[in-house]
Amino acid sequence: MRSLLKSLMKWPLWFLLCVLAGTGAFFALFLTGRKETWIAVAATLAGALLLTIIWYAVLQKKLEATMAEMAQETSKALSDQMLKLPDPYALISEEGKIVWRNEAFDQMLEDHGTDAMVLTEWLGEIFPDAERFWNRWLEQSEGNEEAEEEEESGARHYLTLGDRVFAADVRPLKDQTAFAALLLTDETEHLQTLVELQDERNVSGLCYVDNFEELLKSTETEQQSLLSAIIEQRIAKYFQKYNGITCKTERDRFFISMDAKGLRECSADRFSLLKDVKTIKLGNKTAVTLSIAFGSDGASYDENMDMARAAMDLALARGGDQAIVKTPLNVEYFGGKALGEAAQTRVKARVKAQALRELMVSKDQIFIMGHANADNDAFGASVAVYRMAVSLFKEAHIVINNISSSVRPLYDSFQTNPSYPREMFMTSADAERRFKDNAMVIVVDTNRKAMCDCPILLEMTDQIVVIDHHRQASDSIQAILSYVEPYASSACEMVSEILQYFDEDLVPSELEAESIYSGIVVDTNSFTDRTSARTFEAAAYLKQCGADLVKVKKLLRENYNEYKAKAETTRGAEIYMDGFAFAECDAEGLDSPTIVGAQAANELLNISGIKASFVFTKVNDTIYVSARSIDEVNVQLICERLGGGGHLSVAGVQMKDVSVEEAMTRVKDTIRLMTKEGAI
């Protein structure tokens, strides 16, 4: 090949010499005037023609033959190399047939149980998910992009890399036959190693006995040590079953270290330890409850521990008796089905009242707001906090945008009373415009930023206080003072207690007491739901302050349209899974459709056999779901799965850009899944 190429490079030189010789002879003869001039021209042309013939007849043919031989040898070498390639490789026609494959591909077919002698095997018979890869390759066939997918054949996993190639052809590119060059990389061992590494990652956990002091008080002295030992043994035995190590840090607190696989198994078991410890009976009159928190998937052990602490804070704020697994991207809840008991002591309320007073004293401006579409509980709690701020001679405003029909009579009473300024209430726009540097925001009856009447105010300051009776969620407001009591009947009950400890000389007016009392009445469904001794004590205090109970009852009466809409809602209810009532509330013509929907949900619970009710109200492009139950179902867990939240027996969720039918389907699917998991 080298000598032929040298000859090829020399051929123009010989041709040039021939032309120069002929040209020199031509000029020599021409100048002397000899007649042999044209003979020299003819001889030159003949020599050039002879060299050309020699090139095409000999050298070119030898060069083509040599190049063809080399190409054949190279092709054979490449083919042999592809045949011996350790990774499976094949050419697939546009119809999805295997037209060529190497030995490794044959071996894979044999391992799969496919006849390796059949060359026209459809790709889908080897890979169940081949259709996805093939459709993607066909979409990209106009270009020359590579397609990459994960495939599974039998018990092996492959990374599939496909590229577009053409058969050797002299036709235009667009007319040539296209093939998919399929290269498979066996990643089975790699993936197994990754899974093992993921399973072996360490996770950190905490376990607290919620009511340890109460347990000891309700147990005989000689049995207290034994009770503590049994609780410790149950906890250690449970986590040991899942390859976990338990270390007691205090008499009612434990540190847990385990791997991710064990945590996953605990989650699949839904932390049955929460139920198991409640069966411990050693003379104790109070059931044992635990709060369990885990941090997982963090970048370090420290990060896992920080997430575990944050999860424990969340579990305790939600009332305990539950397990929470927190990752950087998600929070998962387990347990928390019981209603629990309200604390009998008011020490916490007194401490929070004094802390709130100290914060208010140092501020020039105080803005109070509840959740959007405020109900009587949010309105009454806002009025109570307003009275506290005014008693300190502070500039205070209640931020409220939409006045519902149930709140309207009380709102008008304040606006027409000369004892209260017109600027007692203001809209979000006015609050943003008048907000000063040394101001604070107090949020009542919600702990989620998205639910607030004016979320922008929370971005304008970090001086935020939250007073709420709903369980905290992972997206709760970050406040400098947070008083969240999940087992309180209402926010108005909580602020009634705070009022009593805020200042000895502070006494709310009759109108203020009636506003606060109305919030308790509405949220307890006239003292039938979630009431405790503290609820009636708060009501008695408000009665002493001058609240007229008959007047409150008149203020809470419904108008005819709302009563009719509620009746139509209950009449059209659908029963699902023999215990869940679903209904749609028509918002047309109603001032407060979401409140009517909530009242209809309460009415549906009066039907025998109904465990929980869900009423769907469409307002603009949002579906408001009101969920209610008595004691058999924790609707708050259901709403949390859907992005909402609330109380154990009173919860809700908002769904945007969906129809009522789609929203109902989502809730039904969630109930069915949670029932299957045992969460309901």
343 in a structural domain: no
Task: Give yes or no: residues 74 and 134 share one domain.
Answer: no
Is pLDDT of 174 > 80? no
**Containing domain of residue 144, as a range?**
89-195
Is pLDDT of 372 > 70? yes
556 vs 129: which has the higher pLDDT:
556
Q: What is the CATH number of the domain that holds 331?
A: 3.30.70.270
Q: What is the CATH number of the domain that holds 588?
A: 3.10.310.30
Out of 536, 555, 574, a domain closes at 555
Is pLDDT of 553 > 80? yes
CA 165 and chain centroid, separation: 42
What pLDDT is recorded for position 475?
Answer: 75
CA distance 663 to 582: 11
pLDDT band at 123; cut points 50, 70, 90: low
378 in a structural domain: yes
Task: Give yes or no: residues 510 and 566 share one domain.
Answer: no
Structural domains counted in the chain: 5
424 vs 153: which has the higher pLDDT:
424
Task: Give yes or no: residues 451 and 575 share one domain.
Answer: no
Q: Count CB atoms within 10 A of the CB of residue 144.
A: 10
CA distance 50 to 15: 10
Q: 3-class DSSP state for residue 475? A: coil
CA end-to-end span of the chain:
82
CA distance 346 to 353: 11
What pLDDT is recorded for position 96?
Answer: 67
pLDDT band at 191; cut points 50, 70, 90: confident
CA 271 and chain centroid, separation: 22
The DSSP line for 231-281 is HHHHHHHHHHHTT-EEEEEETTEEEEEEEHHHHHHHHHTT-THHHHGGG--
What pLDDT is recorded for position 125?
Answer: 59
Task: Give yes or no: residues 62 and 130 share one domain.
Answer: no
What pLDDT is recorded for position 330?
Answer: 84
344 in a structural domain: no
Task: Give yes or no: residues 567 and 548 share one domain.
Answer: no
Q: 133: Cβ–Cβ under 8 A, 6 or more apart, which residues? A: 127, 147, 149, 151, 160, 162
The DSSP line for 69-126 is HHHHHHHHHHHHHHHT-SS-EEEE-TTSBEEEE-HHHHHHHHHHT--TT-TT-BGGGT
CA distance 283 to 621: 56
341 in a structural domain: no
Task: Report percent pLDDT > 90 for the chain.
Answer: 39
Least confident of 36-40, 115-119, 434-438, 647-651: 115-119
Q: What is the CATH number of the domain that holds 142?
A: 3.30.450.20
CA distance 587 to 594: 8
What pLDDT is recorded for position 46?
Answer: 75
pTM of the complete model: 0.62
Q: Angle 347-361/491-502 helices, nearest 10 degrees?
A: 70
Is pLDDT of 340 > 60? no
pLDDT in tens, 456-469: 999 999 999 999 98
pLDDT in tens, 266-319: 998 889 999 999 898 887 778 889 999 999 988 888 999 999 999 998 888 777
pLDDT band at 4; cut points 50, 70, 90: low
Mean pLDDT of 392-414: 91
pLDDT band at 146; cut points 50, 70, 90: very low
CA distance 96 to 114: 16
Is pLDDT of 472 > 90? no
Least confident of 142-146, 189-193, 289-293: 142-146
pLDDT band at 647; cut points 50, 70, 90: confident
What pLDDT is recorded for position 34?
Answer: 61
Question: Token pair of 582, please?
Answer: 């679903």
Task: Give yes or no: residues 183 and 262 share one domain.
Answer: no
Task: Give yes or no: residues 368 and 440 share one domain.
Answer: yes
CA distance 219 to 284: 5
Mean pLDDT of 125-141: 55
pLDDT band at 149; cut points 50, 70, 90: very low
143 vs 603: which has the higher pLDDT:
603
Q: Count CB atoms within 10 A of the CB of residue 488.
A: 29
340 in a structural domain: no
323 in a structural domain: yes
Task: Give yes or no: residues 546 and 650 share one domain.
Answer: no
Half-sphere exposure of 219 (CA within 13 A, CB side): 22
CA distance 219 to 235: 20
pLDDT band at 561; cut points 50, 70, 90: confident
Task: Give yes or no: residues 546 and 613 share one domain.
Answer: no
Task: Give yes or no: residues 54 and 75 share one domain.
Answer: yes
CA 542 and chain centroid, separation: 43
Q: Which residue in 384, 410, 386 sits closest to 397, CA to CA?
A: 386
Half-sphere exposure of 150 (CA within 13 A, CB side): 6
Task: Give yes or no: residues 208 and 331 share one domain.
Answer: yes
DSSP H or E segment with residue 650: strand 650-656
Is pLDDT of 134 > 60? no
415 vs 472: which has the higher pLDDT:
415
What pLDDT is recorded for position 170?
Answer: 41
Task: Give yes or no: residues 359 and 396 share one domain.
Answer: yes
Sheet strand arrangement including 425-426: 425-426, 395-399, 365-369, 439-444, 464-468, 481-484
CA distance 249 to 237: 17
288 in a structural domain: yes
Out of 335, 364, 387, a domain closes at 335
Task: Report percent pLDDT > 70 for the chain.
Answer: 78
Distances (CA, A) of 392 to 354, 434, 490, 542: 13, 20, 25, 21
* Burial category of 496 from C-beta neighbours within 10 Å (exposed 0-12, middle 13-18, buried 19 and up): buried
Out of 500, 523, 555, a domain closes at 555
Is pLDDT of 172 > 50? no
DSSP H or E segment with residue 539: helix 533-544
342 in a structural domain: no
Distances (CA, A) of 486 to 208, 330, 342, 357, 369: 18, 22, 9, 23, 19
pLDDT band at 171; cut points 50, 70, 90: very low
CA angle 233, 236, 241 (to 5 degrees): 120
pLDDT band at 143; cut points 50, 70, 90: very low
CA distance 110 to 114: 6
CA distance 279 to 287: 8
What pLDDT is recorded for position 132?
Answer: 56
Question: Token pair of 408, please?
Answer: 């309207």
